[in-house]
Amino acid sequence: MSVTTDSSIADLLARGGQPTMSFEFFPPKDDAGQEQLVRAVGELEPLRPDFVSVTYGASGSTRSRTLDAARTITTQAGFRTMGHLTCVSQSRAEVEGAIASYADAGIRHILAVRGDPPGGPTAPWQAHPEGLPNATELVRLVKAAGDFCIGVAAFPDAHADRKDFDLDARILAEKEAAGASFAITQLFFDTDAYFRLVERVRALGCRLPILAGIQPVTNLAQIERFATFSGAPLPGPLVSSLHAVAEDPAAVRAVGLEFATTFCDRLLAGGAPGLHFFTLNRSKATAEILANLRATSSAEAP
């Protein structure tokens, strides 16, 4: 079963109506990972996402695998597919080569992000001597390279290396001016942080649709590691609930999925134009959250 991919993500968002639903995958490292990706795509295919995205390793280290994964997903399921692109540790010429590779593969959507330094998101940023200084310049380069629909990153909890909410809002507005059509947030766990971000950028006249990036909580150690790495604090009540059942993986998963369902429901009720699930190349948690949301919506319908 395939989906119609003629319309761009920007077109879908401009139409309004139902919020978009999308999934993020990462390129597999080996045959086992490839099998896992294919399985996850197949299991999520019936949900008919509006688009999917494939991540891109630091310094372009997974560029060829990203392209291969994007081709696999598009061929297998016919999804509208977006490739990620960073400017970490790459020259301008290397970035231009990656853009050309996406175009040759028929991929017309690019998520243009600066990317984290090799030392992690809080390490000092240092541009490649022949590279691009930031994500705004990357957006300009992609925009000039062809007919691409460009997404960018947004940070409800502020970018980890600066923690300046107002600066983040101004940068997001600059990305829009440079040619971006929509944004996807980094993972976060506080709906109010998302709505404050939207308010800040709207106050600057920035109209970018901001999709909410959703990280399902199914493993306590993993989600605590992600939260620390990204600078997105976990809510105290959630942490308490998870630690209360820490010795029972099934209970941890149940608590996490209940939180995610309520979290997504509040975002949609507040006007979020879409949900973008970080699947980690797994399907079950994402599918269950979406089923819970559909059940909640049906229960509340008149």
Spatial contact of 31 and 65, defined as CB atoms under 8 Å apart: no
Cα–Cα distance for residue pair 276/50, rounded to 1 Å: 10
Residue 183: inside a domain, yes or no? yes
Q: Which two structure tokens, joined as six digits, stand for 149?
A: 């629909």
Burial class, 219, CB count within 10 angstroms (exposed 0-12 / middle 13-18 / buried 19+): middle
* pLDDT over threshold 70, residue 282: yes
Residue 1: inside a domain, yes or no? no
Residue 75: inside a domain, yes or no? yes
pLDDT tens profile 137-183 = 999 999 999 999 999 999 999 877 778 899 999 999 999 999 999 99
Banded pLDDT at 62 (limits 50, 70, 90): low
243 vs 51: which has the higher pLDDT: 51
Residue 302: inside a domain, yes or no? no
pLDDT tens profile 72-92 = 888 888 899 999 998 888 889
Range of the domain at 111: 9-297
Residue 300 catalytic?
A: no
Name the β-bridge partners of 182: 151
Judged by DSSP in three states, 3 sits in: coil
Cα–Cα distance for residue pair 258/125, rounded to 1 Å: 37
Spatial contact of 235 and 225, defined as CB atoms under 8 Å apart: no
Spatial contact of 226 and 215, defined as CB atoms under 8 Å apart: yes
Maximum C-alpha span of the chain: 60
Cα–Cα distance for residue pair 62/43, rounded to 1 Å: 24
Catalytic residue (one of 24, 45, 137, 176) = 24
Cα–Cα distance for residue pair 43/263, rounded to 1 Å: 23
Domain count, the chain: 1
Average pLDDT estimate for 260-274 = 96
> What single-letter DSSP state applies at residue 111?
E
**Which CA distances in Å does 14 have to 9, 11, 91, 182, 219?**
9, 5, 34, 10, 36
Residue 72: inside a domain, yes or no? yes
Spatial contact of 149 and 108, defined as CB atoms under 8 Å apart: yes
Residue 14: inside a domain, yes or no? yes
> What single-letter DSSP state applies at residue 184?
E
From 49-53, 125-129, 176-180, 244-248, the region with the lowest mean pLDDT: 125-129
Spatial contact of 3 and 48, defined as CB atoms under 8 Å apart: yes
Name the β-bridge partners of 82: 53, 109
Banded pLDDT at 6 (limits 50, 70, 90): confident
Single pTM value for the model: 0.91
Residue 128: inside a domain, yes or no? yes
Banded pLDDT at 103 (limits 50, 70, 90): very high
Residue 3: inside a domain, yes or no? no
